[in-house]
């Protein structure tokens, strides 16, 4: 007996949004939508691993719209993207999904007049889709602009957003948001920065292995604490080099404070034992690098370009439209129409 295909209704979406999906020609949910939407509808944080074109906008957009419909509020969600083309693409899809509900969605990106954007921001749209640099500019300079009421933070292509070396800007945005919020990160890969940003809550972790000593005791506790969720226990192993001993001793002192133990168990390594695995490690590293290069080459070939931009067909279309809009904004010749005023003769 064939299994029935999962529908958007099955995921917990209300009828109005299911109808919106039909109008978008979304006949059935994609895999990332099946996995993310039910979790997001519960108000839980989400980390999704998905490539471009996998339906990510629906995965985070539909739960946000449902929450917004159930409890309407201005300045409800902030979506961060690495490029303005992607921001505009997401904004357009959300506009289409929320067309029947009077959704107000604003793209806050570079290449557009700051004053004009500021006026639109002060009208308090429901959803802001922004690039990191531009939203930070407004936080710095726009009086009266605040993100304190935001209920949802989304980072699309979070690996790229967090790897732009804009840590100070990311921190500024996060500090401007309320702590009580839902965070959703969607990324092609899970990098260290993505992991730290989400505080991954992965059940049934038996081992945490630190290949280097964490920079602080808070980071150490945060990492190894994943082995002790819901009363479970596990093992944390940290590799310590001769240059990291001081850092490790400082962490050890904090972690063991208040316990009967004075030191963590030490597992000394024997050179001859380690050397047995050297060849295997080198071979595995070489194989991993080769596979990563192959995957990246395939991605570039599929995109048909060599740059790091998000050059899907959709983003190319958006860029063309942006250029056309900029061309149209160039000064045009104005025509002044003068009307002749008719004066009625006075009666004598």
pLDDT digits (tens, 9 = 90+) for 156-172: 988 878 765 677 788 88
Q: What average pLDDT does the segment 47-66 reach? A: 87
Q: What share of the chain is helix, strand, coil (3-state, %, to 5)?
A: 45, 10, 40
CB-based contact 210:218 (threshold 8 Å) = no
Q: Is the pLDDT confidence value at 196 over 80?
A: no
- pLDDT above 70 for 22: yes
Query: Residue 235 forms beta bridges with which residues?
Result: 207
Q: Would you say residue 192 has pLDDT above 80?
A: no
Q: Tell me what pLDDT residue 20 has.
A: 92
> Taking 80 as the threshold, does the pLDDT of residue 186 lie above it?
yes
The pLDDT assigned to 91 comes to 95
User: Is it the case that residue 52 has pLDDT exceeding 60?
Assistant: yes
Per-residue confidence band for 346, with pLDDT thresholds at 50, 70 and 90: low
Residues 1-200, CATH architecture: 3-Layer(aba) Sandwich (3.40)
Q: Where in the chain is the domain with CATH 3.40.50.300?
A: 1-200
Measuring CA to CA, which residue among 156, 128, 150, 151 is closest to residue 59? 156
SS3 state of residue 172: helix
DSSP letter at 72 equals: -
pLDDT at 342: 46
Residue 177's pLDDT is what? 92
Phi, psi (degrees; rounded to nearest 5) at 228? -120, 30
Q: Which residues contact 14 (CB under 8 A, 6 or more apart)?
A: 66, 69
* 211 pLDDT above the threshold of 60: yes
Q: What is the pLDDT of residue 274?
A: 79
Residue 339 confidence (pLDDT) above 50: no
Distance of CA 250 to CAs 57, 63, 215, 247, Å?
A: 44, 44, 10, 5
Closest CA to 43 of 22, 71, 23, 17: 71
Query: How large is the average pLDDT for residues 57-86?
Result: 93
Q: Note the pLDDT tens digit of each residue in 257-298.
A: 888 888 888 887 788 887 888 888 888 888 888 887 887 777
| 3-class DSSP state of 152 | strand
- In this prediction, residue 240 has a pLDDT band, given cuts at 50, 70 and 90, of confident
Is residue 149 predicted with pLDDT exceeding 70?
yes
What residues form DSSP beta bridges with 156? 186
Confidence of residue 340 (pLDDT cuts 50, 70, 90): very low
- The reported pLDDT for the residue numbered 247 is 87
Tell me the percentage of the chain whose pLDDT exceeds 90.
31
For residue 261, the model assigns a pLDDT of: 80
Q: For residue 151, what pLDDT is reported?
A: 95
Which run of H or E residues covers position 81? strand 77-81
Average pLDDT value over all residues in the chain: 80
What pLDDT is stored for residue 336 in this prediction? 38
Most confident of 103-107, 189-193, 216-220, 260-264: 103-107
């Amino acid at each position: 007996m064939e299994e029935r295909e999962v529908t958007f209704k099955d995921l917990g979406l209300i009828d109005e949004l299911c109808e919106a999906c039909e109008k978008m020609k979304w006949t059935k949910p994609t895999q990332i939508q099946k996995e993310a939407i039910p979790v997001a509808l519960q108000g839980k944080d989400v980390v999704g691993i998905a490539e471009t074109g996998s339906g990510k906008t629906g995965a985070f957009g539909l739960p946000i719209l449902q929450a917004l419909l159930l409890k309407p509020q201005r300045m409800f969600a902030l979506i961060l993207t690495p490029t303005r083309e992607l921001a505009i693409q997401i904004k357009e899809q959300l506009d289409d999904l929320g067309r029947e509900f009077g959704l107000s969605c604003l793209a806050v990106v570079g290449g557009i007049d700051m004053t004009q954007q500021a006026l639109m921001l002060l009208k308090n749209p429901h959803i802001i889709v922004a690039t990191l640099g531009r939203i930070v500019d407004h936080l710095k300079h726009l009086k009266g602009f605040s993100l304190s009421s935001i209920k949802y933070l989304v980072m699309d292509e979070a690996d790229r957003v967090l790897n732009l070396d804009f840590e100070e800007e990311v921190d500024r945005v996060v500090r401007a948001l309320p702590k009580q919020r839902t965070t959703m990160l969607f990324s092609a890969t899970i990098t260290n920065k993505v992991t730290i940003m989400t505080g991954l809550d992965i059940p049934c972790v038996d081992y945490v292995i630190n290949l280097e000593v964490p920079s602080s005791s808070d980071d150490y506790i945060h990492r190894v604490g994943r082995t002790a969720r819901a009363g479970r226990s596990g093992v944390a192993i940290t590799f310590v080099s001769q240059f990291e001993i001081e850092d490790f001793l400082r962490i050890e002192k904090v972690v063991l404070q208040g316990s009967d133990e004075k030191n963590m168990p030490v597992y000394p390594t024997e050179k001859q034992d380690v050397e047995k695995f050297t060849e295997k490690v080198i071979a595995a590293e070489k194989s991993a690098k080769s596979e990563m290069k192959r995957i990246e080459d395939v991605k570039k070939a599929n995109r048909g370009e060599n740059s790091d931009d998000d050059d899907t067909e959709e983003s190319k279309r958006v860029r063309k439209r942006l250029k056309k809009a900029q061309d149209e904004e160039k000064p045009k010749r104005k025509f002044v129409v003068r009307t002749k005023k008719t004066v009625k003769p006075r009666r004598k």
